[in-house]
Structure 1
Amino acid sequence: MKHLILGNGPAGVLAAETLRHLAPDDEILLGGSEAEPPYSRMAIPYLLEGSIDESGTYLRKSAGHYDGLRIRQRQGRAVALNTEQQTVLFADGQFEAYDRLLIATGSRPVRPPIPGIDLPQVQTCWTLDDARAIARLARPGARVLQLGAGFIGCIIMQALTRRGVQLTVVELGDRLVPRMMTPAAGGMIKRWVEKQGVRVLTRAGVDFIAQGEEAPLTVTLSTGEKLACDLLIVAAGVAPNVAFLEGTRVHVAKGVLVDDSMQTSVAGIYAAGDVAEAPDLYAGRHLVAAIQPNAADQARIAAVNMAGQRKARMKGVLAINVLDSLGMISSSFGEWQGVAGGDGVEQVDERNGRYISLQFDGEVLIGATAIGLTEHVGALRGLIQGRMKLGAWKRRLLETPTRFADAFIACQRPNS
């Protein structure tokens, strides 16, 4: 049995290791499109701020790790899939056959169609090559404009400020991280970031990028303001890498559609990680949850099913976001926006850097947003992921939402 894994990020590597444990005699080929050893993109900000070197981004640190597990590696980008012949064509013109296929090709950064976006001083922050380019340009005192203040944007923001640049952030939304934070929470983060010396412009975008006279770039914003920049970083979101599946029987929406076994619409082909669109925990609607904990869970489930020893199923994807914005720790879980007909409570203590929002559907906590409440935040995830019936604790949480850790403990006991 030959297992071909496309993508050597966290999902691909974990799936390969799990397969080797479950199928010691099978052939495993792990493909990646970059020249570097398998690494974590989430470690790139720590590389930029100088906390680690490039080897610190590697997913496995010991030399010969993959050879020792008899996991063969191949560099190359998949460009076409033939599901009938069970082959994958790579950009170098070579084919690889498979018996079982895992699509773990991850995502790519979105580059909006802005005039001038291909100028050399315009960078994304997604690969080690990107990080090297940013490190050359983001020197102390450099004028840096960042387009986008979502999850990735806020992580990059911290690394840039530690490099001593003059940073301006432009965000189309009305607050920071609008796709994972409530209006009140996103507003708190914006004001906190501004206090740390970052200029933040919300409800604004970039209309035009040109080579400048007093600086490498002159950037025209949607507000009409023009900014002189040494570097523009585009952090406008990511999109799943699915182009090579065009014309195949593998169903794709935003990402690759999978069932709760992580199998696609074609038997023997699975998907995991940022590229997979899997059923969510509550409504069963399909969701791309591009975070490492979900990638790890999906990779294990896919590998177990590829090995064919038993049927493994996911209980459902849970949206999980934990973010450090220049020292302000925030998190959101599940249906943090709430649902129609549900109940909710919000408590703001901006003076002390505290915020919490809880969202309920009947007796079940289905979503939460928190800032500065790090000590027991795992209890929020536990309550939501466990779909615990709160009983009398719902009323108590509506009155005092910060008692979520007490609720979690009590709801695990009978007659609570």
Structure 2
Amino acid sequence: MKHVILGAGPAGVIAAETIRKHAPHDEILIVGDEPELPYSRMAIPYLLIGDIGEEGTHLRHGSDHYEKLRIDIRRGVRATGVDTKARTVSLDDGTAVPFDRLLIATGSRPASPPIPGIHTAGVHTCWTLKDARAIMQRAQKGARVIQMGAGFIGCIIMEALAVRGVQLTVVEMGDRMVPRMMGPTAGGMIKAWCEAKGVRVFTGARVEAIEPHAPLRVRLSTGDHLEADLVISATGVKPAIGFLENSEIKCLQGVLTDEHMQTSVPGIYAAGDCAEAFDKVSGKTVVSAIQPNAADQARVAGLNMVGLKAELKGVTQINVLDTLGLISASFGNWQGVPGGDHVELTDRDAGKHLSLQFAGDRLVGCNSIGWTEHVGVMRGLVEGQVSLGEWKDKLLADPTLLMEAYLARAQAQEARALVKA
């Protein structure tokens, strides 16, 4: 049996290791589109800060790790198409690779906004080790850096840049920071925190043009003209699935999968940031680009690829963010659901905010700032779909009673499930 894995990130590596554990004699090939050994993008900010070297980004640190497991890796080549009938993958070096089982774990690619000058020297995404090397050359102490985008990834990059001591300006099109993770109050509090830390923040603004001078000149929709030594584009990512356009593999936002991580074509699976899987909390399929989900999906896919039935329990809709020391979290349907109840508590002086969203007597989503001790409880209530009963009214009256509600209801629900089992 030959297993071909497209993508050398966490999903690809975990799937390969899972396959090898249960199928010691099968052939395994990982195809990666970068020349590097498999590494974690989430480690790049630590590289920018200087906490680790490049080897610290590697997913596995033994020089012969893949060789020992008899996992072949082809680096620096990219898939250009999949022939589902011939069971082959076309690569951009002109070759075609046959497969018995295929895993699509190609991850995401940065979205490139249609801005004049976006490809000018000195303008970079922050997505690859190659990007990180270029950024470190320019982002020296005191350098003027403009970052486009203040979403989840953008805020992580911003943290690393601030530690490097640059003069940082952030430009976000949304009306607040982290607009896809935080509501208006929370997003506004994060902005105020960043500005107090010396970061200049424009919200409700966009970069209209980047002029290739030395230094770069950046024109904003606000009418401001800013000079920069470095511009970083962190305006979001999208699943890297363009090569599947003419295949029979069904794609929506990502590659659509079932509970086994199998696509619409038998024997072909998907996992990680490019996969669209069912989320039991929202009741719909979603692309959730966080590493814990990639790992879970990869293990499920790997097991099914060797004939061992496994099902994905669900997609974790969780983001926890450290923005220059301010801890925020977002879970589930944080924007609320039609007809649902909502309660919000804010203490700006203490740097605390809590927003809870309900559907019936269940907590379905929440935003928080500064409530670090309750992160696990919030996740447990949302993902466990815990029936709160009378505790819903208690939380509407005092949302700080999350721990008490969890102890009273979640543990009771778990005990009932054990009795039934």
TM-score under structure 1 length normalisation:
0.97
Give the whole-Å Cα distance in 2 for the aligned partners of 1:112 and 1:118.
10
What is the 5 A alignment of 1:316-355? Answer: 316-355=314-353
- Residue type matched to 2:337 in 1? V
1:174-212 superposed Cα distances (whole Å, 9 cap, x missing partner): 110000001111000000000000000000001111122
CA contact (8 A) 1:28 1:71 kept: yes
TM-superposed deviation, 1:95: 1.4
- Number of paired residues? 413
- Residue type matched to 1:68 in 2? K
TM-superposed deviation, 1:283: 4.0
TM-superposed deviation, 1:406: 2.1
TM-score under structure 2 length normalisation:
0.96
The residue matched to 1:318 in structure 2 has which SS? coil
The residue matched to 2:337 in structure 1 has which SS? coil
TM-superposed deviation, 1:165: 0.6
- Residue type matched to 1:9 in 2? G
Residue identity over aligned pairs, in percent, reads 60
CA contact (8 A) 1:101 1:270 kept: yes
- Residue type matched to 2:143 in 1? A
- Which residue pairs with 2:108 in the alignment? 107
What is the 5 A alignment of 1:151-190? Answer: 151-190=152-191
Give the whole-Å Cα distance in 2 for the aligned partners of 1:258 and 1:309.
17
CA contact (8 A) 1:121 1:216 kept: no
Give the whole-Å Cα distance in 2 for the aligned partners of 1:33 and 1:413.
46
TM-superposed deviation, 1:318: 2.9
Give the whole-Å Cα distance in 2 for the aligned partners of 1:393 and 1:297.
32
Runs of 4+ in structure 1 over 4 Å off: none
More displaced, 64-73 or 41-50?
64-73
- Residue type matched to 1:111 in 2? S
What is the 5 A alignment of 1:31-180? Answer: 31-75=31-75, 76-180=77-181
Give the whole-Å Cα distance in 2 for the aligned partners of 1:220 and 1:341.
43
Give the whole-Å Cα distance in 2 for the aligned partners of 1:353 and 1:61.
40
What is the 5 A alignment of 1:232-247? Answer: 232-247=231-246
- Residue type matched to 2:233 in 1? V
TM-superposed deviation, 1:26: 1.2
CA contact (8 A) 2:281 2:383 kept: no
| RMSD over equivalenced CA pairs, Å | 1.3
Matched, 1:289 2:288: yes
TM-superposed deviation, 1:373: 1.3
- Which residue pairs with 2:10 in the alignment? 10
Query: Runs of 5+ in structure 1 lacking a partner?
Result: none
Give the whole-Å Cα distance in 2 for the aligned partners of 1:281 and 1:184.
27
Give the whole-Å Cα distance in 2 for the aligned partners of 1:188 and 1:225.
24
CA contact (8 A) 2:282 2:333 kept: no
- Residue type matched to 2:152 in 1? F
1:255-296 superposed Cα distances (whole Å, 9 cap, x missing partner): 111112111111111111100111222343221111111111
Give the whole-Å Cα distance in 2 for the aligned partners of 1:296 and 1:72.
20
Give the whole-Å Cα distance in 2 for the aligned partners of 1:414 and 1:110.
45
- Residue type matched to 1:107 in 2? S
Matched, 1:255 2:254: yes
Give the whole-Å Cα distance in 1 for the aligned partners of 2:156 and 2:217.
25
CA contact (8 A) 2:181 2:319 kept: yes
What is the 5 A alignment of 1:178-257? Answer: 178-212=179-213, 215-257=214-256
- Which residue pairs with 2:369 in the alignment? 371
1:127-152 superposed Cα distances (whole Å, 9 cap, x missing partner): 00000000001111111100000011
- Residue type matched to 1:294 in 2? N
- Residue type matched to 2:392 in 1? K
